[in-house]
Amino acid sequence: MFWLGWISRNLRDKQNTKRILDIGSNIFWLIGIASNYEVDMVDVRDHPLADYFPFKMTIGDAVSLPFEDNSFDAVTFPQLLHWMGTAAYGREIDVNADHAVLSEIARVMKADGIGLFITFVVPGSGVFKIGGRRLYGIEDLETTIRRAGLKIVEIVYYSPTFQQIPEGKLVAPTGRELVTGNPDEDICWAFLKVAKS
């Protein structure tokens, strides 16, 4: 879970970060960062110990966040965009869910806020897989982010073995094009920092 370290470093480096919204993250990591920030968390699942967390937990859906516009200095959304709308976790299929979630993040983020998230990217065009995960081609991901009213501030790619990859070298680790069916050996991670357009 080294991506949580990347998110923590970006939060620390952003000046005047006070209030953070996290969507569906690791509870233990949130307990740790709640000592430095005012944290709200949204998740579709309830937690039996939520009343004891040092942050506010709200049951809700990322496609319709229950917060006012321009409320948060930062929004963290690790490891979830690729599941949005895919019917994973018993949710309904919605091919536009990723756009809805990113639009909601843009809405609740302050004008000088940042969004931090991690998702999967593959060489070539994106693939939408029902009941699995959404895989983005680089251009598909950039287009989805722009359509939601966000811009990419930073994007870093990692291989499945967590080696940083220069953008021009983003190819399947096996040296071949992505083969649908079992993409695990071909996917790469995109670590993204976004801001409002």
What is the average per-residue pLDDT within 182-193? 72
Pick the CATH number of 2-196 from 3.40.50.150, 3.30.1360.170, 3.40.640.10, 3.40.710.10: 3.40.50.150
Rounded to the nearest 5°, which phi and psi values hold at 125?
-85, 155
Does 180 score more than 50 pLDDT? no
- pLDDT number for residue 176: 41
- At 27, the pLDDT band (50, 70, 90 cuts) reads confident
Residue 173 has pLDDT above 50, yes or no: no
Cα–Cα dist 40/53, whole Å: 10
Q: Kindly report the pTM of this predicted structure.
A: 0.87
Q: Please report the pLDDT score of residue 89 as a whole number.
A: 61
What's the rounded mean pLDDT across residues 125-141? 73
pLDDT at residue number 183: 47
Over residues 63-98, the pLDDT tens digits come to 999 999 999 999 999 888 888 877 766 667 888 889
Structure confidence at residue 86 (pLDDT): 77
> What is residue 20's predicted lDDT score, i.e. its pLDDT?
97
Mean pLDDT of 23-48: 90
Neighbours of 197 (CB within 10 A): 10
For the chain, domain boundaries:
2-196
Which residue did the predictor score with more confidence, 15 or 108?
Answer: 108
Torsion of the alpha carbons at 101, 161, 26 and 147, rounded to the nearest 10: -10
* Percentage of residues of the chain with pLDDT beyond 70: 82
pLDDT over 80 at 14, yes or no: yes
Q: Which structure tokens are listed for 145?
A: 């982010």
Give the pLDDT mean for 143-164. 89
